[in-house]
Structure 1
Amino acid sequence: MPNRPSAHAVYSELKDRILGFTLYPGTRVTETELAEDFGVSRTPIREALQRLAAEGFVTIRPKQGCFVRELDIEEIDQLYQVRIALESLALELAQAHMPRSALESLARDWDPGQSDKAPVSVDAMAQRDESFHITLAQGSGNRVLAGLLQDVNARIHIIRRLDFTDRERIDVTYTEHHRIAELLLARNLSAARELMSEHIRYSQEFARTLTLRRLADLRRAAPGSSGNG
């Protein structure tokens, strides 16, 4: 008898489906249907859904069921506004408190010549990108700031990762991260802030546009769709 997937394996597969929009935002999922799909009991399904709910990927509504979280573009835009403010403060505090050796290491890690060695998977590259920003926030010496930034990043992860489905965007990310670290080393805070804001805004717009395009394509391809919008 083949091994049945564990709760962690179910969680990973469902998360991939949500991030890839195979499970469309707003879709209702049931433990029974998923148990049949994965060939497991409802227990690992329930555990996986509870974990996804804790991470904000699904919403469990009493007496209604479990739903893939809707994408609220306006809320995502507001989260990006908050992210820019947090990252700006992180740069200011990191310049004041982060050891020069740590900034030099960060600059080396993001040398544009290293971009051809970028992680292969989208999720791995997204995690590497996030580590750059969290390293600066942690280097600020303000744990509250770092925690808030991690929370914002988690809430926009579903579209932020799409920024790394494009090879050019990966190359640009290396170049801009390297430049930001260099500007902090040169004590040019204003230029570092300006570049960070531009970096985040462009990433936001790229991921937002790609998300809306992908959702539109999936909607047109859905059974019963006329394809006319």
Structure 2
Amino acid sequence: MKEDSLAYKVYLEVRKKILSSQLAGGARLVENFWAEKLSVSRVAVREAFMRLAGESLVEFGGKGGCFVKSMTIDDVKEIRELREILEIGALKILFAKKNKEVLKELQLICDDFSAMVEKGYYGGACEADVKFHEKMIESTENARLILMYKNSNIPLFHMRLGAVMDQMEDYQDTDKEHRAIVEGLANDDWELSYSSLVRHLYRGEQEALELV
């Protein structure tokens, strides 16, 4: 595999961990660790870190260390506002499409989330949470919307999912809200899907603000 492909492999893996809050703001990223973990060279890891820095997901310290960028109060509020605009827009498109295959895929992600929580695999649950929202966006098949969402590097708002293992109420609320969104889509109940999504985003914002 070429060096640039290896760097992309590292980029995707670290980006996924950051967006799913498995790597919290302020966490140091050690080149040797990621090189060994992903069986790549330190050069590939360094290139991946540079790309992540270009997307404002990580930053370099004064002594050259690389750290996950922490979110400010303004960051949290702006991200919630952006997510609301993009995801409600995506929801409108999904209601218009009425694609049963999309419903099945979203339901499977909900089931995957529940299974991960039940097994105590909280990292997997975090990734399933991110995947649910990304699937909503991707299923619109609107290339510009998908690109905007991807380039915005939307992080998981329920940071307690990744940071605190005993926040079962948050896991349960997330599961209920995701399933309510799907239920609304399945039954052509806009109000159910819309209110569940907005509640999900606002709850996430409040919990994220508690940790900033």
Contact 1:95/1:187 (8 A) holds in 2: yes
Aligned position for 1:130 = 130
SS in 1 for 2:127: helix
1:68-117 deviations in Å (ceiling 9; x for gaps): 435322122111111011111111101111412431442354259x7244
Contact 1:184/1:192 (8 A) holds in 2: yes
What RMSD in Å do the two structures reach over aligned CA positions? 3.9
Matched, 1:156 2:155: yes
Change in CA separation of 1:21 and 1:136 when aligned onto 2, cut-off 3 Å:
closer
Partners in 2 of 1:155 and 1:177 — Cα distance? 17
Matched, 1:208 2:206: no
- For the pair shown, the structure with the greater C-alpha radius of gyration is 1
TM-score normalized by the length of structure 2: 0.68
The amino acid of 1:84's aligned partner reads: E
SS in 2 for 1:59: strand
Matched, 1:141 2:145: no
Q: How far does residue 19 in structure 1 lie from its aligned partner after superposition?
A: 2.5
Partners in 1 of 2:137 and 2:97 — Cα distance? 11
Aligned position for 1:115 = 114
The amino acid of 2:102's aligned partner reads: A
TM-score normalized by the length of structure 1: 0.63
The gaps in structure 2 that reach 5 residues or longer are 1-5, 36-40
1:139-165 deviations in Å (ceiling 9; x for gaps): 22212212222333x2534x6443353
The gaps in structure 1 that reach 5 residues or longer are 1-5, 213-229
The amino acid of 2:59's aligned partner reads: T
Q: How far does residue 168 in structure 1 lie from its aligned partner after superposition?
A: 2.0
Aligned position for 1:221 = none
Q: Which structure ranks higher in relative contact order (CA pairs < 8 Å, sequence separation ≥ 6)? A: 2
Contact 1:108/1:178 (8 A) holds in 2: no
Aligned residues: 188
Partners in 2 of 1:23 and 1:109 — Cα distance? 28
